[in-house]
């Protein structure tokens, strides 16, 4: 089914072709700060990402995607509500045609220029495809992106490679 980010096929329409997109554990979500509650039981986040684990950078026709070696715990995320270590499988970007219309998620009614998704999987399962079918199998860390004059050092390497990305 076709999907995208326009008014006729964007996040508000996804549930028509993908019913689970309206679920309570689905993305995208709208975060309202007045409804957010602090949970003292959550552990601090810990991320350890090895840039050398990046295997490929590609253009899949919708976004720039970086695929990582996830055969062992080389690039990982843990903490927060996660029950253990999750391995980084890939990262990809979402952006739009303007600086205020690119993120999938919304905070207090505000969309951002873009969003970076880091997709992790729980290695207690035999592989990513097994993990994706489990309720505790996948963890996606979403980071909002704003347009600025100077890129952050963490983004600079990826931005430098974007012009050389091959299409699908």
Which CATH number covers residue 65? Answer: 3.10.200.10
Using alpha carbons, select from 124, 130, 56, 60 the residue that is nearest to residue 90.
56
The predicted structure's pLDDT at residue 69: 97
Which tops the pLDDT comparison, 71 or 6?
Answer: 71
Which pair of structure tokens corresponds to residue 145? 């992106």
Domain count, the chain: 1
| Residue 109 counted as domain residue | yes
% of the chain residues with pLDDT over 90: 49
| Residue 58 counted as domain residue | yes
| Residue-number span of the structural domain to which 150 is assigned | 45-164
| Residue 136 counted as domain residue | yes
48-96 pLDDT per residue, tens: 999 899 998 888 777 889 999 999 999 999 999 999 999 999 999 988 8
**């995607």: which residue's tokens?**
65
Q: In terms of C-beta density within 10 A (0-12 exposed, 13-18 middle, 19 or more buried), how is residue 101 classed?
A: middle
Mean pLDDT of the chain: 86
**């990262």: which residue's tokens?**
91
Q: In terms of C-beta density within 10 A (0-12 exposed, 13-18 middle, 19 or more buried), how is residue 107 classed?
A: middle
133-167 pLDDT per residue, tens: 999 999 999 999 988 888 888 777 777 777 676 65
Name the β-bridge partners of 88: 120
What angle (nearest 5°) sits at the alpha carbon of residue 64, between those of residues 100 and 136?
90
| Residue 135 counted as domain residue | yes
HSE of 138, CA atoms in CB hemisphere, 13 A: 17
């Amino acid at each position: 089914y076709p999907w995208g980010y326009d008014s006729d096929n964007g996040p508000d329409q996804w549930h028509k072709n993908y019913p689970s997109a309206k679920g309570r554990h689905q993305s995208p979500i709208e975060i309202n700060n007045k409804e957010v509650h602090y949970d003292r039981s959550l552990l601090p986040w810990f991320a350890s990402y090895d840039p050398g684990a990046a295997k490929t950078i590609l253009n899949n026709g919708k976004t720039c995607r970086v695929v990582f070696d996830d055969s062992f715990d080389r690039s990982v995320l843990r903490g927060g509500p996660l029950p253990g270590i999750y391995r980084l499988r890939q990262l990809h970007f979402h952006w739009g045609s303007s600086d205020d219309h690119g993120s999938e998620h919304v905070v207090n009614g505000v969309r951002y220029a873009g969003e970076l998704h880091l997709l992790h999987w729980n290695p207690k399962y035999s592989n990513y495809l097994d993990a994706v079918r489990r309720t505790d199998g996948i963890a996606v860390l979403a980071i909002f992106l704003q347009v600025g004059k100077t890129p952050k050092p963490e983004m600079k390497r990826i931005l430098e490679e974007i012009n050389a990305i091959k299409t699908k």
